[in-house]
A and B are shown apart, each in its own frame.
Chain A
Amino acid sequence: MAIGAPGGRPEWDLNALWSHLQGVTDLELWTIPFYLTAMYSIKDPSQDAYQLIQSIVYQEMLHAQLACNIANAYGYSPTFTAPVYEGDDIPHIRFALDVPNPTQTFRPYSAELGPLDERRINAMCLIEYPEWDTERTPNLRMRREEYGSIGEFYAAVRAGMAELRHHVRGGVKQADHFQFFYQGLKNPTITRDGNEGYRQAVTLIDVITDQGEGQTRGDADVPAEFQNTADGFHESWPHFRKFLYIRTLGALPETFSGEAEPPPGSPGGQAQQRLIQDFGRFLRTLDALFSGGHPEDFGPLMAKLGGDILTCWQNGAIPRFS
């Protein structure tokens, strides 16, 4: 296999890798409001569905950090822009490219923000749908922006990283905000240059994919060293299994309902506006956080977002982030 092997002529240049790392960052970010919106629609937080989605969101935050650490090691600081939730569009994923097309099973689905319902849980299963076709080598010559699954997307990134491993520089704008929640994960940052740094980066990709995004074997447990040790729930379950479990519950938990366009000035409309404002501030904080900064308001802002989303639901509005 030539692709990804050291010494071969790279199919990707740094711009291609950066573009893909920006893409995975976008995708990780996209999932967070989508999942949180569904989670906070559940009226009883003690429900398994709530706890499972919460545990996934925590790991999506970790994944965003790890993706940024990889990108920074390759010389690029990703930016954070407000995701778009329209129709059935999930960034960089086109299920029709996958074989078999999982939307034949997980339908109907929607990429629009909403309560935890059939369309949302199907979308979640699709997003985390494993790359069952094991050991398939990505073809980097195809300059793709969309992949059949999140697993395929990460496989391409992994191959591109291998090609460009000599560009890795350790200790560049590395963030480590969740270390105490993953006692088995020895180093969530890239500290070395070149090949050694590349191997560290590959471990970070492993964390992301083994926890849930793109496992090539959807029935495998999350390796013990990548499991959450503090605030998880069913820590050995990858994301797809967690969502599949929710999907197969006899009945989804009771949720709030809301309207997408509440009257301006109504409590729901005001709650939406607060969320939009706070999410904008949060994005700017993420920009700073993952480009070497140390914004002091990251913790409060992250917490405030949860309250904002719940407040939207409590006031009869579907949360909006932009």
Chain B
Amino acid sequence: MSDSAHVFRIHPAIGIARVGNSQEYVIGPETMAGLPVPGAGEAAGETAGETLGGLPIRPGTESEMITSRELRDRDGALKRQAARFKIFQYPREAAGRYRSGAGTEVTIGSVVEGRRVADIVWTAHLANKKASAYIMNDDLGLAVYERAHAAELQLRNLAVGSDPDNAARLRKLIIDPGPRAIRGTDTGAVRFDKSTFASFGDSGARIQEIRSYPKSFPDDSFSRLYTPVGNIDSLGELRTDEQGRLLVLGGYGKACSRVLPDGTPYPLINGAVGPGNVANVNEEGWFDDAGDGPVAATLVFEDGGVQPVHGAWAVVADPSFAPQILNVVTLWDQIYDTWVRELDLCPEIHGHRFRDAYKPFFDDDLFPIFRAASLQRWTTNLPERAIQAHDAVGRIRAEDDPGDTILTGLAYIRDPNNPRMSSIGAPFMPLSTGDSGRAFLSVTLTQYFFLSQWNKGRFHREPAPRPGPGELLDQAVLVNCVGGDFGPGLEMTFIVKDPELYRQDWRESGAGPFRIRAAVLDYNQAQASQPFLTMGYVPFHPAPGGVEAAPLEPGDISKFMAVPWHTDFNACATHNPDPNPRNLKTLYWAWPAQRPVDVHVAREVRDGRLGPVRYSIRGPGTYSDDPSQAGRFADQIDIVLSWHRIGFVIQGSAIDGGAAFSPELFLEVESLLDEPLITPWPMYSENLDS
């Protein structure tokens, strides 16, 4: 990118923002859910009263984690969660290594090779292509994009057109506000909305307005829309902080529908409506305001020079209502697994196969799996005996002989090397539903390799060398996301297993691993009459004239997710196994670490004793005698209206209020789904006429 002795990268490589219905925001967590916070003086596994990672960060601070009262604004609205992007410089000689331990943050005022940074020009481009994309096939997942399944690849919203590349169709169905640029020294917000012009930072770090950019929002193409929570007129905004870092904020969790000829909205349907087509993942006629897209930056020096920076990607996703509950399989685990096995990230771990001589590090490679298992009890209704067993898993420490632990032999870990195991439920773990076409979730092949080495006693008990701060940020952000069930999931889905999703020249280019293979977007070519964005990346489908899939445009990650996200979020509390050839009626959890199913309510804790287990989604509209329908809204429109009322499960030490809760407890707070409590007499009338 330049002759500099350093390379410059934005971290995290993939940043996660989350929707909220408040104008206010918090910053997305940069520590790992359920795990000790680096520098807090806590060894892996010892909670020691410390608040564990995963909580969002208080705006205006470097890393102060919020407490319960900061989850909502004063009106009770759910704060959005910003993805914070930072720039790091690496010595060129370290740029081709992963876990180099290198990396120094560059902010406004930093001196880089003798030049002071005066400003940073950021450009981001969020879009939402969900309505124009292919149906998420629940039977095949990623495989539906293989040539062999061409006949099963069906578009969403066929009524708007059956040619995926048709410009009119793309214009109608893609929400594209265009790019927006912002300076690190700016103090206001730049919005991805209808009323402001698109803009981008050019190679000279000048911000160019694109007045002719073909912005498109649903009401531009559809004169009549059903907008139960307001029109979608924004996908979010950009802000910068005092150091010039970028904050990407997403939408407000809105969803809207085209209307049928009779003027009614498209019905929100539950369940299968065709082979592989689950309606609540692919709701016909609906839009939401999630999105994703590239993030670019250019350093501007006081001497007028500029320095380009390797870009990143922002994803705007559903809220995470249990931010400190660690998934057993995280999005990081999936992406790391792909990079280890397919992209030569760590040759010492995997060459053509896993290397038997490799010793994983307990703290980094094993303890998170054990801790995650022990935390699942806080968002599920595990029976007491299982809680005891999960607690025993969580107590495993580096100094323990694996043979002395409950996981000796890996007797209860579902082996991902054996595809048939994905059909076997209890006692094999994780006890969660699996990706599309798989009944149960398995740890990744890399996780299983690490566990196998541990079981043989081949592991490092001492801490691993620390990654660089940017490298750690890449990991931490993704650790806080779901790594399965990818049917489709909550932030990113099965496409993370496609090596073509990523930029593979990371060593030579210095871009670093985990970067999305972004399309080069020439905004000077934007024409008001033509949609700027195309069908874009389709796994295993070579781009025109190419041999690999098209590089990614804005919207090419979130388009694989549910539309609207709300309905799948509502439905995916628990499921029967799928496939389910034996017609088992037993229900299993989908994403309990993010979409809590069963919770203990903080205000029902008495003298340190937990109250009853309650559904996270409860109250009017959720009652059912059938457990497969309980704990969710029966009418999907209710989740569109009330998703922001769901409570959060957080650690006792982060809960404000009069009661002091043990840090060992993870309790629900800030739910607005409860019916009002009836307090003891005396009660009072509102006026004297009552």
One of B385, B404, B409 near A298 (C-beta < 8 A): B385
Flag whether A270 is at the interface (Cβ < 8 A).
yes
Residues in B with CB closer than 8 Å to A44 are 418, 420
Query: In the complex, A51 Cα to B424 Cα: how many Å?
Result: 9
* Cross-chain contact B386 with A299 (CB below 8 angstroms): yes
One of B385, B387, B392 near A177 (C-beta < 8 A): B385
* Cross-chain contact B388 with A307 (CB below 8 angstroms): no
* Cross-chain contact A46 with B407 (CB below 8 angstroms): no
B273 CB, nearest partner CB in chain A, Å: 29
One of A231, A300, A304, A306 near B426 (C-beta < 8 A): A231
Q: Do A40 and B423 contact each other (CB < 8 Å), given the known contacts A46-B418, A299-B384, A300-B406?
A: no
Residues in B with CB closer than 8 Å to A45 are 415, 418, 421, 424, 428
Q: Count of B residues near A, CB < 8 Å?
A: 32
- Contact flags A139-150 to B (C-beta < 8 A → 1, else 0): 000000000000
Flag whether A191 is at the interface (Cβ < 8 A).
no
Give the most central of A46, A177, A302, A309: most B CB within 10 Å.
A46
Q: Do A303 and B412 contact each other (CB < 8 Å), given the known contacts A45-B428, A180-B383, A298-B388?
A: yes
Interface residues of B in 402-421 (CB under 8 A from A): 403-412, 415, 418, 420-421
Flag whether A49 is at the interface (Cβ < 8 A).
no
Q: Do A308 and B408 contact each other (CB < 8 Å), given the known contacts A44-B418, A231-B425, A296-B388?
A: yes
Query: In the complex, A40 Cα to B455 Cα: how many Å?
Result: 16
One of B384, B407, B415, B424 near A307 (C-beta < 8 A): B407
One of B404, B418, B586 near A230 (C-beta < 8 A): B586
Residues in A with CB closer than 8 Å to B408 are 274, 304, 307-308, 310-311
Q: Do A307 and B411 contact each other (CB < 8 Å), given the known contacts A44-B418, A45-B428, A46-B418?
A: yes
Flag whether B585 is at the interface (Cβ < 8 A).
yes
Residues in A with CB closer than 8 Å to B428 are 45
Flag whether A103 is at the interface (Cβ < 8 A).
no
Flag whether B49 is at the interface (Cβ < 8 A).
no
A190 CB, nearest partner CB in chain B, Å: 22
Flag whether B228 is at the interface (Cβ < 8 A).
no
- Contact flags B658-684 to A (C-beta < 8 A → 1, else 0): 000000000000000000000000000
Query: In the complex, A310 Cα to B411 Cα: how many Å?
Result: 7
* Cross-chain contact B389 with A299 (CB below 8 angstroms): yes
* Cross-chain contact B403 with A270 (CB below 8 angstroms): yes
* Cross-chain contact B385 with A230 (CB below 8 angstroms): no
Flag whether A314 is at the interface (Cβ < 8 A).
yes
B320 CB, nearest partner CB in chain A, Å: 29
Flag whether A271 is at the interface (Cβ < 8 A).
yes
Query: In the complex, A45 Cα to B418 Cα: how many Å?
Result: 9
**Closest B residue by C-beta to A234:** B582
- Measured as residues with beta carbon below 8 angstroms from the partner, the interface class of chain A is 20 to 34
* Cross-chain contact B418 with A306 (CB below 8 angstroms): no
Flag whether A203 is at the interface (Cβ < 8 A).
no
Flag whether A297 is at the interface (Cβ < 8 A).
yes
Q: Do A300 and B424 contact each other (CB < 8 Å), given the known contacts A306-B412, A314-B409?
A: no
Residues in B with CB closer than 8 Å to A230 are 426, 586
Q: Do A304 and B406 contact each other (CB < 8 Å), given the known contacts A46-B424, A230-B426?
A: yes
**Closest A residue by C-beta to B428:** A45
* Cross-chain contact A299 with B385 (CB below 8 angstroms): yes
A38 CB, nearest partner CB in chain B, Å: 15
A270 CB, nearest partner CB in chain B, Å: 7
Query: In the complex, A44 Cα to B388 Cα: how many Å?
Result: 27
Flag whether A195 is at the interface (Cβ < 8 A).
no
- Which 10 residue pairs are nearest across A and B when measured between Cβ atoms? A310-B409, A299-B385, A46-B420, A299-B388, A307-B408, A300-B392, A311-B409, A307-B411, A307-B409, A310-B411
**Chain A interface (Cβ within 8 Å of chain B)?**
40, 44-46, 51, 177, 180, 229-231, 270-271, 274, 296-300, 302-304, 306-311, 314
Q: What would 24 A/B residue contacts be, using CB atoms closer than 8 Å? A: A40-B409, A46-B423, A180-B383, A229-B586, A230-B586, A231-B425, A231-B426, A231-B586, A271-B403, A274-B403, A274-B408, A296-B388, A299-B385, A299-B386, A299-B392, A300-B392, A303-B392, A303-B412, A304-B392, A306-B409, A307-B408, A307-B412, A308-B403, A309-B411
**Chain B interface (Cβ within 8 Å of chain A)?**
383-389, 391-392, 403-412, 415, 418, 420-421, 423-428, 455, 585-586
